[in-house]
């Protein structure tokens, strides 16, 4: 009888298959879809790691739906994830930050059971200065049963996600994901080209003393956010204040650090952006699912992100995400001090 030697290495593929066994009716489609995403992440990682060496930096000349100039690596990353999902056969279509409209796949993939919302390279303005960037993805089961997917398949609230995750292309490259049973992190071992389980069952500390916010926008913040931030900056050693400000302009990196150490990331409404800056479908929802699965909280300052009924694949929403105690304290300040007109306004008329 073969006695399997003990090895302390679990690859992402092995982990996905092991976890699939927890779902007796799973036929492997979601597992296959997650593997497709991992393949694209490895290809993007290879290019991100040498972005400074080849002529892949600089403007691609085009603009994305946000009106932001697209860096060549944005375009490359988007192409890799679309190609991997199109050929994988499990995904019927994609809503991408880099595409104005949903991308529907034809052939066998058009009957795929899932749809994906993705920010293929978040924080890409950091590429030229060698600061970590990331990919954020969100997976839903289609609502329509046959024929091409429709935009309604994408406009589902975050609580309906079946999986969510991110890749952070940092000092090491990690893939962190959840299928609703906890959060697990995998570090890419370039010597074998595999994501290996390195952070099993990730849980965020219930409290923390790191806050991540663009202090440069302070003057435009709602009064409640200003008062909350000021409360973190007082000299109060008994409560470990002043807290530490850590903000590198890359959501995935700030989120990942706070997930491990405890903390809060805030991108609130401002006078200029009444719904904040971040995108609900492929930034806030996946990060909110991950954070709730890791024992933290994610709100728009007033209600859970995952409850928001989307009306547009690119709609924005404010984001307060991190340690539960910190997010709830920030919400208390908003309720107590912020003016009504600074509450996020959503197109479907529902207020928070
Ligand atoms: P600001 C990157 O563009 C991003 O979407 C997030 O990754 C990041 O946290 C935020 O925007 C930075 O925005 O306005 O502070 O530069």
Instruction: Say if residue 333 is in the same domain as residue 244.
Output: yes
Domain membership flag for residue 96: yes
CB 28 within 8 A of CB 109: no
Instruction: Say if residue 296 is in the same domain as residue 175.
Output: no
The last residue of a domain, from among 140, 167, 199: 199
Tokens of 236: 């109060």
The ligand 1 atom nearest the CA atom of 216: 15
The residue whose CB lies within 8 Å of the most ligand 1 atoms, and thus the one to mutate among 128, 129, 136, 277, is 277
CB 12 within 8 A of CB 194: yes
Residue whose Cα lies nearest atom 16 of ligand 1: it is 249
Q: Tell me what pLDDT residue 229 has.
A: 98
Sheet of 183-189, strands arranged across: 103-104, 91-96, 114-122, 133-141, 161-169, 173-178, 183-189, 194-199
> What DSSP state is assigned to residue 277?
S
Q: Tell me what pLDDT residue 58 has.
A: 52
Domain membership flag for residue 105: yes
Instruction: Say if residue 162 is in the same domain as residue 122.
Output: yes
Instruction: Say if residue 167 is in the same domain as residue 243.
Output: no
pLDDT at residue 68 is higher than 70: no
How many percent of the chain have pLDDT more than 90? 72
- List Cβ neighbours of 336 (8 Å cut-off, separation of 6 or more): 224, 227
- How many angstroms does the Cα of residue 10 sit away from the middle of ligand 1? 33
Domain containing residue 146: 12-199
- Give the C-alpha separation, 111 to 99, whole Å: 21
The ligand 1 atom nearest the CA atom of 278: 5
pLDDT at residue 335 is higher than 90: yes
Angle at 337 between CA 332 and CA 338, to 5 degrees: 100
The ligand 1 atom nearest the CA atom of 254: 9
Q: How many domains does the structure of the chain reveal? A: 2
Instruction: Say if residue 37 is in the same domain as residue 124.
Output: yes
CATH at residue 331: 3.40.190.80
Q: Tell me what pLDDT residue 125 has.
A: 83
Residue whose Cα lies nearest atom 4 of ligand 1: it is 123
- Give the C-alpha separation, 166 to 134, whole Å: 7
- Give the C-alpha separation, 134 to 252, whole Å: 6
Domain membership flag for residue 263: yes
The last residue of a domain, from among 145, 175, 199: 199
Domain membership flag for residue 352: no
pLDDT at residue 336 is higher than 60: yes
pLDDT tens for 140-198 read: 999 998 889 999 999 999 999 999 999 999 889 999 999 999 999 999 999 999 999 99
Domain membership flag for residue 3: no
CATH at residue 129: 3.30.540.10
Assign 3-class secondary structure to 4-17: CCCCCCCEHHHHHH
How many percent of the chain have pLDDT more than 70? 89
pLDDT tens for 204-252 read: 999 999 999 999 999 999 999 999 999 999 999 999 999 999 999 999 9
Mean pLDDT calculated for residue range 59-81: 75
Can you give the length of the chain in residues? 352
pTM for the structure as a whole: 0.93
Instruction: Say if residue 215 is in the same domain as residue 192.
Output: no
pLDDT at residue 54 is higher than 70: no
Mean pLDDT calculated for residue range 263-275: 91
Mean pLDDT calculated for residue range 53-73: 62
pLDDT tens for 281-305 read: 999 999 999 999 999 999 999 999 9
The last residue of a domain, from among 167, 199, 231: 199
Instruction: Say if residue 217 is in the same domain as residue 305.
Output: yes
Instruction: Say if residue 31 is in the same domain as residue 122.
Output: yes
Domain membership flag for residue 1: no
Q: Pocket around ligand 1: residues whose beta carbon is below 6 Å from it?
A: 122-123, 125, 214, 249-251, 277-278
Instruction: Say if residue 141 is in the same domain as residue 261.
Output: no
CB 132 within 8 A of CB 73: no
Residue whose Cα lies nearest atom 9 of ligand 1: it is 251
> What DSSP state is assigned to residue 280?
I
Mean pLDDT calculated for residue range 101-127: 91
Mean pLDDT of the chain: 90
Instruction: Say if residue 31 is in the same domain as residue 163.
Output: yes
Instruction: Say if residue 155 is in the same domain as residue 273.
Output: no
Instruction: Say if residue 58 is in the same domain as residue 156.
Output: yes
Domain membership flag for residue 245: yes
Angle at 132 between CA 204 and CA 115, to 5 degrees: 70
Q: Tell me what pLDDT residue 42 has.
A: 96
Domain membership flag for residue 183: yes
pLDDT at residue 261 is higher than 70: yes
């Amino acid at each position: 009888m073969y006695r399997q030697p003990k090895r302390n290495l679990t690859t992402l593929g092995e982990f996905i298959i092991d976890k699939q066994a927890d779902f007796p009716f799973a036929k492997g489609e979601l597992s296959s879809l997650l593997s497709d995403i991992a393949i694209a992440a490895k290809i993007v990682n290879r290019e991100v790691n040498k972005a400074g060496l080849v002529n892949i930096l600089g403007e691609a000349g085009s603009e994305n739906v946000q009106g932001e100039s697209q860096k060549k690596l944005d375009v490359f990353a988007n192409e890799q994830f679309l190609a991997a999902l199109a050929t994988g056969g499990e995904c019927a279509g994609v809503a991408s930050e880099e595409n104005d409209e949903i991308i529907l796949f034809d052939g066998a993939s058009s009957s795929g059971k899932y749809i994906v919302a993705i920010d293929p390279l978040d924080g890409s303005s950091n590429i030229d200065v060698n600061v970590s960037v990331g990919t954020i993805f969100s997976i839903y089961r289609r609502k329509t049963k046959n024929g091409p997917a429709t935009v309604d398949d994408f406009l589902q609230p975050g609580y309906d996600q079946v999986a969510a995750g991110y890749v952070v292309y940092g000092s090491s490259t990690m893939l962190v994901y959840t299928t609703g049973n906890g959060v697990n992190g995998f570090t890419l071992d370039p010597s074998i080209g595999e994501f290996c389980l390195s952070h099993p069952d990730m849980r965020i500390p219930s409290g923390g003393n790191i806050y991540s916010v663009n202090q440069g926008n302070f003057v435009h913040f709602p009064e409640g956010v200003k008062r909350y931030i000021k409360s973190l900056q007082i000299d109060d050693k008994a409560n470990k204040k002043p807290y530490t400000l850590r903000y590198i302009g890359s959501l995935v990196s700030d989120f990942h650090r706070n997930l491990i150490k405890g903390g809060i990331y805030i991108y609130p409404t401002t006078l200029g952006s009444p719904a904040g800056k971040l995108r609900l479908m492929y930034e806030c929802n996946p990060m909110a699912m991950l954070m709730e699965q890791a024992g933290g909280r994610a709100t728009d300052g007033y209600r859970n992100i995952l409850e928001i009924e989307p009306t547009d694949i690119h709609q924005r929403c404010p984001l307060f995400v991190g340690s539960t105690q910190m997010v709830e304290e920030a919400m208390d300040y908003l309720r107590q001090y912020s003016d009504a007109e600074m509450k996020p306004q959503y197109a479907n008329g529902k207020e928070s």
